[in-house]
């Protein structure tokens, strides 16, 4: 999918958005249920993680085709954030409203599914270092970003370590993006900002936003220097919405660093 378009989801309104920055045109696709994340695939299609299943959305027709049921036996879980690695595999995680019952999954090019981590509460922002030696995973409930050793060939992860711990600052990391210098950009839920961290986990800079709940971010634009940030209004009181009237809007931060490009799903979707 070569066009310069931005895709994101509205989880509880059940929408997938397609935005063309060149024309300002936005398209909406109603997928009929909770949608956690997506990956761009071939032939004008998107791979979606819904509440308890993976599905394919045809952008030409709007047709939604379920392909795999996951965690259907866990009614308190739903899928949340996800992303593809450079080998084209789709990584996505689940979150639980009851306990640490969430998991991280990897969906391979041949259609096989692998459970990669367990014991998560709110599996969230995912990313990889520029050299593909490190995998990053956020657990928002624990207020941490984990780092793992990553094997690009096999897709294995190992030796989980806490890279960023925001519990003492009482900040909640949400979605994340990685730049070409290996730094992590984390959207801070209820924090009114995006924070840039070094590969060693040190805070480098904060980028304030006029909204309380940034949710995710990704680099885009022809030079990959624009950081697009999604935000939420869900759960805010009337007073909080009045103090954060642009909640739920899409923002763009113009940066002076180059981001890593978004990888697409490389498997066949029949």
> Which of the residues are catalytic?
174
**By C-alpha distance, which of 205, 96, 79, 85 is closest to 148?**
85
> What tokens appear for 31 in the block?
């997928």
Write the DSSP assignment of the chain as a string of letters. Answer: --S--EEEEETTTTEEEEEETTTTEEEEEE-SS-EEEEEE-SSSEEEEEESSEEEEEETTT--EEEEEE-STT-TTEEEEEEEE-TTS-EEEEEEESSSS-EEEEEE-TTS-EEEEEEEESBEEEEEE-TTS-EEEEEETTTTEEEEEEE-TTT--EEEEEEEEE-TTTT-EEEEEEEBTTS-EEEEEETTTEEEEE-TTS-EEEEEE-SSS-EEEEEEESTTS-EEEEEE--TT--HHHHHHSTTTT--EEEE-SSPBPPPP---S---
């Amino acid at each position: 999918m070569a066009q310069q378009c931005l895709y994101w989801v509205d989880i509880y309104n059940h929408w997938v958005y397609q935005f063309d920055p060149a024309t300002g045109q936005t398209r909406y696709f109603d997928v009929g249920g909770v949608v956690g994340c997506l990956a761009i695939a071939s032939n004008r299609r998107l791979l979606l993680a819904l509440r308890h299943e993976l599905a394919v959305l045809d952008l030409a027709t709007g047709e939604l085709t379920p392909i795999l049921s996951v965690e259907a036996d866990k009614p308190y879980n739903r899928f949340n954030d996800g992303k593809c690695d450079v080998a084209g595999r789709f990584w996505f995680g689940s979150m639980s409203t009851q306990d640490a019952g969430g998991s991280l999954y990897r969906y391979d090019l041949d259609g096989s599914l692998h459970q990669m981590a367990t014991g998560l509460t709110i599996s969230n922002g995912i990313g990889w270092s520029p050299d593909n030696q490190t995998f990053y995973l956020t657990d928002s409930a624990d207020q941490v970003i984990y780092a793992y050793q990553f094997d690009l060939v096999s897709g294995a992860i190992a030796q989980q370590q806490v890279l960023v711990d925001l519990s003492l600052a009482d900040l909640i990391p949400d979605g994340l993006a990685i730049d070409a210098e290996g730094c992590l950009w984390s959207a801070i839920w209820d924090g009114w900002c995006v924070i840039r961290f070094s590969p060693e986990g040190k805070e480098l800079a904060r980028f304030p936003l006029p909204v309380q709940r940034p949710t995710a971010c990704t680099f885009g634009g022809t030079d990959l220097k624009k950081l697009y940030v999604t935000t939420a209004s869900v759960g805010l009181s009337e007073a909080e919405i009045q103090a954060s009237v642009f909640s739920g809007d899409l923002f763009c931060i113009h940066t002076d660093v180059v981001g890593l490009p978004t990888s697409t799903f490389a498997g066949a979707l029949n």
